[in-house]
């Protein structure tokens, strides 16, 4: 018995790297999988190579699983509708949506073009929303018809968005937006039996190879022993988040890179300071007081700084 027996899953961008590892492991644990991949390049150029998705379907079938291919673009609203429809038409239902499809166009912001920014945001941020929208329509209707789902959305984020990375202002903005969107989705969809979480993966992928030319990119299933750079290392967390073992988990962001598992803490308010008059009544902050209070009680330093010292 697998953790996902009887479930139907979609994995977008499942032709290579992280998504490929997730699709294969979901199938290994009993899920019937829609392998979605446009068959394009890392930068979002090209497309239409159906062999990319077909190969993963064949890998899954050779391992005893069930899968079908889909070649639509998540960036296209109607294409995303068809991705969801493919699962329902092929397998009669949808239980798991894993959003992994992505492209990369790294440049410093002063060299980045509007097309570079739009292309990355369109695939990552809009693409994630597009598939979530159509899946949520289906799950909401199922709930209203008395067939309450036990469904799971797993979206893909990155430290580039949660911690920051120079040259990835487009990619980072999209990934940070996905994290926020996922938390909001968890609030909106809980009444319909749908959970929404994120996974932050890692490893040697085609995207990483754009910046690190000397790395060896392999398919996740081709690793014969544990390697921290295997892009399939995040797949176990996706399987768990897709399973009924995690029905109590929603609105969370997990990171699994190599053998390192952690949970990101969302933006949270730190120590609060109140502006008051001498009698304790509230007042509007004086700009000069903001620096004095933060320097003393938050930054723990009243040093005027190197530039200020130089001017003095």
- pLDDT given for residue 212 in this prediction: 67
DSSP string, the chain: --TTTT-EEEETTTTSHHHHHHHHHHHHTT-EEEEE---B-TTS-B---THHHHHHHHHHHHTT--EEEE---TTSHHHHHHHHHHHHHHHS---EEEE-------B-TTT--HHHHHHHHIIIIIHHHHHHHHHHHHHHHHHHTT----EEEEEE--HHHHT--TTBHHHHHHHHHHHHHHHHHHHHHGGGTEEEEEEE--SS-HHHHHH-TTPPP--GGG-SS--TT-GGGGHHHHHHHHSGGGTT--S-EEEEETTEEEEPPPP--------B-TTS-B-PPPHHHHHHHIIIIIS------HHHHHH-
Mean of pLDDT values over 87-116: 97
Burial class of residue 110 (count of CB atoms within 10 Å of its CB; 0-12, 13-18, 19+): exposed
- pLDDT given for residue 48 in this prediction: 81
- pLDDT given for residue 309 in this prediction: 52
Confidence of residue 304 (pLDDT cuts 50, 70, 90): low
- pLDDT given for residue 35 in this prediction: 98
Provide the terminal-to-terminal Cα distance of the chain, rounded to the nearest Å.
Answer: 73
Catalytic pick from 175, 186, 234, 243?
175
pLDDT score of 254 more than 90: yes
Catalytic pick from 71, 126, 138, 171?
171
pLDDT score of 236 more than 80: yes
Confidence of residue 253 (pLDDT cuts 50, 70, 90): very high
Confidence of residue 266 (pLDDT cuts 50, 70, 90): confident
Residue 142 has, within 13 A of its CA and on its CB side, a CA count of 21
Q: 8-263: CATH homologous superfamily?
A: NAD(P)-binding Rossmann-like Domain (3.40.50.720)
Q: What is the overall mean pLDDT for the chain? A: 93
Catalytic pick from 73, 152, 158, 234?
158
158 tagged catalytic: yes
What pLDDT digit, counting tens, does each position of 45-84 carry? 877 899 999 999 999 999 999 999 999 999 999 999 999 9
283 tagged catalytic: no
Confidence of residue 18 (pLDDT cuts 50, 70, 90): very high
pLDDT score of 312 more than 70: no
What pLDDT digit, counting tens, does each position of 145-193 carry? 999 999 999 999 998 889 998 999 999 999 999 999 999 999 999 999 9
Among 35-44, 238-247, 263-272, top mean pLDDT goes to 238-247
pLDDT over 90 percentage in the chain: 80
- pLDDT given for residue 204 in this prediction: 78
What pLDDT digit, counting tens, does each position of 22-32 carry? 999 999 999 99
- pLDDT given for residue 301 in this prediction: 80
Every domain of the chain and the residues it spans: 8-263, 269-312
């Amino acid at each position: 018995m697998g953790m996902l027996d009887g479930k139907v899953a979609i994995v977008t961008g499942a032709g290579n790297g992280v998504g490929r590892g997730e699709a294969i492991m979901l199938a290994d644990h009993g899920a019937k999988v829609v392998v979605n991949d446009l068959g394009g390049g890392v930068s979002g150029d090209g497309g239409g190579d159906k062999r990319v998705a077909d190969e993963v379907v064949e890998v899954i079938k050779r391992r005893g699983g069930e899968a079908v291919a889909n070649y639509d673009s998540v960036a296209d609203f109607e294409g995303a509708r068809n991705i969801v429809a493919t699962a329902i038409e092929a397998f009669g239902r949808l239980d798991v949506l894993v959003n992994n499809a992505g492209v990369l166009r790294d440049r410093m912001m002063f060299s980045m073009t509007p097309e570079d920014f739009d292309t990355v945001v369109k695939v990552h941020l809009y693409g994630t929303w597009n598939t979530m929208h159509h899946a949520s329509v289906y799950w909401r209707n199922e709930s209203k018809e008395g067939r309450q789902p036990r469904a799971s959305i797993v979206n893909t984020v990155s430290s580039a968005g949660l911690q920051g990375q120079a040259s990835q202002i487009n990619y980072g903005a999209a990934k940070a937006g996905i994290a926020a969107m996922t938390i909001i989705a968890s609030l909106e969809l809980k009444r319909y039996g749908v959970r929404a979480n994120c996974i932050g993966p890692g490893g040697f992928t085609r995207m990483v190879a754009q910046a690190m030319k000397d790395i060896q990119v392999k398919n996740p299933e081709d690793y014969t022993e544990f390697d921290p750079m295997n892009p399939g290392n995040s797949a176990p967390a996706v399987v768990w988040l897709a399973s009924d073992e995690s029905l109590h988990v929603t609105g969370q962001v997990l990171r699994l890179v190599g053998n390192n598992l952690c949970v990101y803490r969302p933006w949270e308010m730190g120590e609060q300071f109140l502006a008051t008059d001498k009698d304790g009544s509230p007042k509007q902050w004086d700009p000069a007081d903001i620096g004095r209070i933060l320097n003393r009680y938050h930054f723990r330093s009243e040093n005027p700084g190197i530039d200020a010292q130089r001017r003095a």
